[in-house]
C-alpha cells in the first residue's frame, strides 16, 4: 500500500508552539533551505516523491527552493501564508491569507495547486466554514483534520479515519491507528519523535492492515538539532525539541520500511 509522504515547508520560528509573531520572522535565522534540501536528498535516495505544503511566507523569501522542489518531481500544495491558526481567524481574514499564499506560491511553480493543510491542523468543528472558501479558490483536497479528541489545539473526535468527502472537497485526515479500541496518532511530527520507532512501525502496519494509507508529515526544522533555542514551558519544550537529532535516521528507516507517494497520487489525481 502506498502511504502519503508530506512535508510542511516552514522554518523553526513559524511553529505555533514558539508563539513568535509573524512580524518578527524576518529578524530570525532562516534555516529552511538547508533543512529542506537534506530531506529532498533523502527522498531522492529512496526514489520517493512527496507533497510539500508550502507556507506562502517561505515561498516569498526562497522561491528558488520551491522551484527546486517541483523540479525534483514533488507535489506543491499550500499551507496558507502566515501560519495563523484558523481558530484565530475570521472567514474574511482566512480568505485573504489563502489568496496571498496561492498568489506567491503559484508564481513559483508550473503545476496546479490543489491541496491545502491548515496551520496546526485547525480545521475543526468551529472552522468548517473554511471548506467552502478552499473550494472557491480551486482547492480539491484538504489534509487538516485530526480525528482525535484529546489535543487542546486541534481535532474532530468524531471524524472518519478514512479519506472521505467533505463538502466539495476530499478530506485526507491525519492518521491514527485503532488499537484495542483506542485511537493512537501515528502521522508524524512530534508523534514520530516521541514514539520509539518500533511503535511507529507497528502503528503504520496497523493502519495498512485496516485498509488505510498512512498520511505522514514532517517539518524541515524537525531534522535540525542546531536550531536556535527559545525558552518555553517544559511541555512545549519537550514537544518542539525532543529527539530532533534522531529524526533523519528514523525517516531514513521509515522510507526503507514503507512505500510512499504524494497525496495527489494516493487519491488517483495523477
For the four alpha carbons of 200, 187, 68 and 264, in that order, the dihedral sign comes to positive
Q: What is the SS3 assignment for 257?
A: helix
Residue 270 has pLDDT above 80, yes or no: no
67 bridge partner residues: none
Domains of the chain by residue range = 2-266
Alpha helix segments (H runs only) across the chain = 32-45, 56-61, 63-71, 91-106, 130-136, 190-194, 197-209, 234-241, 247-257, 263-266
Residue 265 pLDDT > 80, yes or no?
A: yes
Q: Please state which of the four CATH numbers 1.10.3720.10, 3.20.20.370, 2.40.50.140, 3.40.980.10 is assigned to the domain occupying 2-266.
A: 3.20.20.370
In the block, cell 525539541 appears at 241
Is the predicted pLDDT of residue 152 greater than 80, yes or no?
no
pTM assigned to the model: 0.97
Q: What is the mean pLDDT of residues 138-158?
A: 92
- pLDDT at site 115: 98
pLDDT in tens, 128-146: 999 999 999 999 999 999 9
Q: Which three cell numbers stand for residue 131?
A: 471548506
State the angle between helix axes of 247-257 and 197-209 in degrees (0 to 180), rounded to the nearest 10: 30
Mean pLDDT of the chain: 96
The model's pLDDT over 206-261, given as tens digits with 9 standing for 90+, comes to 999 999 999 999 999 999 999 999 999 999 999 999 999 999 999 999 999 999 99
**pLDDT tens column, 20-69:** 999 999 999 999 999 999 999 999 999 999 999 999 999 999 999 999 99
What are 55-101's pLDDT values in tens digits? 999 999 999 999 999 999 999 999 999 999 999 999 999 999 999 99
Amino acid at each position: 500500500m502506498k502511504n502519503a509522504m508530506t512535508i510542511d515547508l516552514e522554518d523553526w520560528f513559524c511553529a505555533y508552539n514558539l508563539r513568535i509573531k509573524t512580524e518578527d520572522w524576518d529578524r530570525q535565522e532562516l534555516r529552511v533551505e538547508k533543512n529542506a534540501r537534506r530531506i529532498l536528498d533523502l527522498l531522492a535516495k529512496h526514489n520517493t516523491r512527496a507533497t510539500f505544503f508550502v507556507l506562502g511566507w517561505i515561498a516569498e523569501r526562497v522561491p528558488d527552493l520551491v522551484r527546486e522542489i517541483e523540479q525534483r518531481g514533488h507535489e506543491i500544495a499550500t499551507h496558507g501564508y502566515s501560519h495563523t491558526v484558523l481558530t484565530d481567524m475570521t472567514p474574511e481574514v482566512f480568505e485573504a491569507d489563502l489568496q496571498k499564499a496561492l498568489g506567491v506560491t503559484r508564481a513559483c511553480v508550473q503545476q496546479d495547486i490543489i491541496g491545502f493543510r491548515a496551520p496546526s491542523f485547525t480545521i475543526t468543528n468551529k472552522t468548517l466554514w473554511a471548506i467552502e472558501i478552499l473550494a472557491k479558490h480551486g482547492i480539491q483536497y484538504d489534509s487538516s483534520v485530526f480525528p482525535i479528541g484529546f489535543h487542546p489545539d486541534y481535532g474532530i473526535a468524531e471524524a472518519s479515519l478514512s479519506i472521505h468527502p467533505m463538502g466539495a472537497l476530499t478530506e485526507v485526515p491525519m492518521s491514527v491507528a485503532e488499537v484495542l479500541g483506542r485511537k493512537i496518532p501515528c502521522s508524524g511530527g512530534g508523534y514520530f519523535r516521541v514514539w520509539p520507532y518500533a511503535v511507529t512501525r507497528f502503528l503504520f502496519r496497523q493502519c495498512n492492515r485496516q485498509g488505510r494509507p498512512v498520511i505522514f508529515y514532517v517539518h524541515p526544522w524537525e531534522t535540525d538539532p542546531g536550531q536556535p533555542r527559545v525558552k518555553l514551558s517544559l511541555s512545549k519544550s519537550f514537544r518542539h525539541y525532543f529527539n530532533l537529532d534522531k529524526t533523519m535516521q528514523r525517516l531514513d528507516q521509515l522510507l526503507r520500511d514503507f512505500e510512499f507517494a504524494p497525496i495527489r497520487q494516493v487519491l488517483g489525481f495523477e
